[in-house]
Structure formats: structure tokens, C-alpha cells
Amino acid sequence: MLDKNGIAKRIAKEIKDGFYVNLGIGIPTLVANYIPDGINIVLQSENGLLGMGAFPFEGEEDPDLINAGKQTITTLPGSAYFDSAMSFGMIRSQKIDLTILGAMEVSENGDIANWKIPGKMVKGMGGAMDLVASAKNIIVAMQHVNKLGESKLLQKCTLPLTGINCIKKIVTELAVLDVLPGGGFKLLERAPGVSVAYIKQSTLGKLFAEDDVPEMFLD
């Protein structure tokens, strides 16, 4: 079973040289720590930056320089600033190669819910609806099951949707899965020490799994 850093590490392997990438808040942010050597990518922050770098050193933080999570950050040489309209313009026109974001639920036809829990205070969708509706390539980083052990990979989402038919790949603490074009989750890899049977029992949506699904390779 993977921890958060393990999920981030596995997702990092999906990133190809030359990618422009948008990382959501939470586990996706951790992915930046595991980009392999020799892979050059550019991180977009949808509040208006391409070329996001690490957090600043203490005392060097700049209130005018934050990421979409409102955290102080730095930039790398070759970065560029732009306004919010251009930022979502480049997202809609699919100039961003890969979007990585968290989810509360994903359905077997690629719907995602990650912004609202009825009865709880609603904070808003931020840029998530734009990202999922536009991205050509989305990877979801999420927990396979909730704290009660209930599956979050469903036949149909129960929470209000963020987007429909948009998720193609999911990395959880248990597995790597594709969402098949015709519907259903395809089990690609098992987390170390996790059995296919356990993944099956943790997945409520339709799951396609061979008997000999490989264990994922992380280093």
C-alpha cells in the first residue's frame, strides 16, 4: 500500500520530457519532488505563471508571487507571468499537456467529483471544472477507499460532479488504473504487497483485471 509520497512518486513516472503540467493541491503538489533527472518540464500555476519553482527560502518570500494554492513560491529562469484569462485560455486550448488533481470520487465512465459535499460548507470549484473539462490528459491522485473502507471508484458518482467523461488514469494507494473508453476501470498495476483480490473488493465500479497484474515499480 502506498502513502501519499508513494502515489506522487508513481505519478511522476507518467510525466514525459517537454511536458507543461498543472498540479492541483494536495498529493499532486508532491509530484514535483519526484520528477526524474533528465526530464524537463514546466509547471503552470493557473493564477498566472509558467515556470513555477520551489518554495522560497525563509525571509525571501514575496507576497506578489504565489501559486494557485496561495502558497509563496519562486520561479525558474524562463518563467512568464500572464493574466487569469490567458491562463485559462491556454488550459482550454490544451497547451497544458498534463493535469494532475485529487478526487473524492471517480466513476467508471470517467466522471469526477471533487468540489462539493452536500450539507458541508461549499468552498467552490476554483479552477477544477475548467481543468477537467479542457485537459487532454488528466491523472487523478486519490484514495481508493474512504476512512470507512468504502470504495471511491464507483459505477456512478454520488457527489455533485466536477466534470464528465474526462478522467483517463487513476493512481491510488492500491493501484494504477485506466478508465476505459467504453467504461470501466482497467487494473494496470498493483501497489507493493496489494493483491488483485483486495483491489477488486475495494472497487465498486466495474473492474477489468487480468490474473497476473504486475506490481508497480517505483525506483
Partner 1 sequence: MINKVVKGAVEAIEDIKDGDTLMLGGFGLCGIPENLIAALVKKGVKQLTCISNNAGIDDFGIGLMLRKHQVKKMIASYVGENAEFERQLLSGELEVELIPQGTLATRCMAAGYGMPAIFTPAGVGTEVAEGKESRNFNGKEYLMEYAFDADFALIKAWKGDTAGNLIFRATSRNFNPIMAMAGKITIAEVEELVEVGELDPDHVHTPGVYVHRVFEGVNYEKRIEQRTVIKKS
Euclidean distance between CA atoms 192 and 100, whole angstroms: 22
* Residue in this structure with the C-alpha cell 487532454, named with its chain if needed: 136
List 46, 105, 173, 189, catalytic entry: 46
Tell me whether residue 69 or residue 198 sits nearer to partner 1 (CB atom): 69
**C-beta of 131 vs 145, nearer to partner 1:** 131
Rank residues 42 and 199 by Cβ distance to partner 1 and give the closer one: 42
As a whole number of angstroms, the distance between CA 129 and CA 186 comes to 25
CB-wise, 155 or 198, nearer to partner 1?
A: 155
Total interface residues for partner 1 by CB under 8 A = 74
Q: How far is the CB of 108 from partner 1 (least distance, A)?
A: 15
Residue whose C-alpha cell is 508532491: 30
Per-residue binding letters, 49-88, with partner 1 (x by CB under 8 A)? xxx--xxxxxxxxxxxxxxxxxxxx-xxxxxxxxxxxxxx
Strands laid side by side in the 153-154 sheet: 112-113, 105-107, 153-154
Q: Is 43 in the site for partner 1 (CB under 8 A)?
A: no
181 near partner 1, rule: CB under 8 A = no
Minimum separation from the CB atom of position 69 to partner 1 (A): 7
Q: Which of 161, 174, 177, 216 binds partner 1 (CB under 8 A)?
A: 161
Q: Which of 110, 94, 96 is nearest to 178 (CA)?
A: 110
DSSP-derived 3-state class of residue 112: strand
**Choices 136-144, 146-154, 159-167, 210-218; region in contact with partner 1 by CB under 8 A:** 159-167
Contact 168, 178 (CB under 8 A): yes
Q: Are strands 207-208 and 185-190 parallel, antiparallel or unpaired?
A: parallel
34 is a site residue for partner 1 (CB under 8 A): no
Measured from the CB atom, the residue of 145 and 166 that comes closer to partner 1 is 166
Q: Does 168 engage in binding with partner 1 (CB under 8 A)? A: no
Beta-bridged to residue 38, according to DSSP, are none
Beta bridge partners of 66: 72
Residue 10, Ramachandran bin (φ over 0: left; ψ between -120 and 50: alpha; else beta): alpha
How many residues are present in the chain? 219
Chain residues 182-201 in contact with partner 1, contact rule CB under 8 A? none
* Cα-based angle 24, 54, 141 (whole degrees, multiple of 5): 25
Site for partner 1 in 117-136 (CB under 8 A): 121-130, 133-134
46 is catalytic: yes
Nearest approach in angstroms of CB 58 to partner 1 is 4
Q: Which residues are catalytic?
A: 46
